[in-house]
Amino acid sequence: MKTPSTTVYRRLIMGAGIGSITLSCIILAIGLWEAFVGVKGQINVIELPGFHQMEFKNAGLYAGVYQHTGQGPMPVAALSKLDVRVLSKTNDEEIPVVVNTTGQTFSRLGQQGMLLFNFVIQNPGAYTLSGVFTGESPASALPVVLFSQSLQNIKPTLVVGGLFFVLFLGLGIMTLVKLNQWAPPLRGAPLPKEGRRQ
């Protein structure tokens, strides 16, 4: 005959299993939220030539990349003669910008692109970014993706969050699957012989 303590033990195991699954979902949600917050404001799409007001929230390296989406050839010659200026709105300090004048391109998953420029922000804050073509200009303004190097920290966050999610989810499922083996359900005990009616 199972004692009431068996029922308590069974409930504790069930609670541990459900708690592990719940904790895994919370960990996954936190990881995704941190990744979303990290991406937000760290990627901007600007058009060049043009003049833009920028808010750089983090110190570090920033890079501008052009990804070719048109049908014709990529305007490598024009992109190689891009003049980019970054100025601080706080003290009018000009930030040194390294421009890709070699015309070196890259190809990834069938898409062509080109790293146009990069610069380092020492003091986060408000800046202006302007760009003009010193040579022959394209027929229209080109979209440029401006992003922070700090985005590289998002991948480890997602990996760690994913590992803990799988760990606690698996632990919770295993606990619930093994519940009947570790704590069999309480069944009614047979009545004593003297308590039975003839």
Sort 14 into a burial class: Cβ within 10 Å, 0-12 / 13-18 / 19+.
Answer: middle
pLDDT tens-digit map of 21-51: 887 788 777 766 665 555 555 788 999 999 9
Whether residue 186 has pLDDT greater than 80: no
The residue that leads in pLDDT, 174 or 186, is 174
The separation between CA 6 and the C-alpha centre of its own chain, rounded to angstroms, equals 45
pLDDT at residue 154 above 90? no
Confidence band, pLDDT 50/70/90 cuts, at residue 191 = very low
* pLDDT grade for 196, boundaries at 50, 70 and 90: very low
Average pLDDT over residues 141-163: 73
Give the residue from 112, 146, 125, 141 showing the smallest Cα distance to 42.
146
Q: Find which of 68-77, 80-89, 132-141 is predicted with most confidence, using mean pLDDT.
A: 80-89
| Tens digits of residue pLDDT in 101-138 | 998 998 877 788 999 999 999 999 999 999 999 878 77
Per cent of the chain over pLDDT 90 is 31
Would you say residue 146 has pLDDT above 80?
A: yes
- The fold of the 42-151 domain, in CATH, is Jelly Rolls (2.60.120)
Q: Answer whether residue 198 shows pLDDT above 50.
A: no
pLDDT(189) > 50: no
**If 0-12 CB within 10 Å is exposed, 13-18 middle and 19+ buried, where does residue 148 land?**
buried
Q: How far apart (Å, rounded) are the C-alpha atoms in residues 183 and 10? A: 5
CA nearest to 113, candidates 82, 87, 158, 79: 79
Residue 17 contacts residue 168 (beta carbons within 8 Å): no
Q: What is the per-residue pLDDT for 18? A: 84
pLDDT value for 5? 65
